[in-house]
Amino acid sequence: MAVKYGYTVKVLKAIVFDKQEGLFDEYVNKYYEIKSHATGPQRAIAKLMLNSLYGRMGLRPTFEVTKLVTTAEAETIMVNYDVTDSYILNEEKKLEIIRYSTIPSMNKSVRQHGNDNFIEMSVKADNSARIAEQSVPVAIAITAYARMLMNPYFIKYADSIYYTDTDSITMSEPLPEEVVGNAIGQFKLEHSNFEGYFPGCKVYALLHADGKTTLKGPNKNCW
């Protein structure tokens, strides 16, 4: 697609995955049918199931845990695991709260105790607690297809677009009627006739003609 629009592409490295058609057809059709006819909590849950599918596929392959440990235990963890956060809870009692990856760090463990220790620690690790049910190739494919579908609109309406996300566009002119609707693959008209402020990614405020507001961001109080 990049070549189609005049870009020069030089491939340095590529990973090729086997393609499978209709992988989520049954799943998507089921929850789309519920979303189309249900109301209230049932509709909200169906929408969540649809929208969170690709995010679930893109989860980090390892989990993190937060534990209350002694200072001695914290030091052992730091030697063998990648630590995200750590702070002293009670210096007198030598208690700390530590957050770390549940899979041993190869670099740390091998450097400290040798390869055999790393293998032993990995075998002893609880697989059910440390490995996420995910598939990064699926998440990559979904987001890549989203960009392929959205890019023609970005290029055609470049001078009219104020904000965009994975599957949405905020613009000053209407899209063609045939691409707007409630069917799968169509854009749904969420808002019209409003004044908008878009200071950053996933952060915006809309002031509608009726005086109501729509706020989006990490903390709505920031508005």
* DSSP one-letter string for 46-114: HHHHHHTHHHHHT--SB-EEEEEEEHHHHHHHHHHS-EEEEEEEETTTTEEEEEEESS--HHHHHHHH-
The full set of domain ranges for the chain reads 64-130
pTM above 0.85, yes or no: no
Q: Are 138 and 57 in contact (CB under 8 A)?
A: yes
- 188-211 pLDDT tens trace: 899 999 999 998 888 889 999 999
Closest by CA to 103, choosing from 132, 82, 79, is 82
pLDDT per position as a tens digit, 53-98: 888 888 776 677 889 999 999 988 888 888 888 888 888 888 999 9
146-175 mean pLDDT: 90
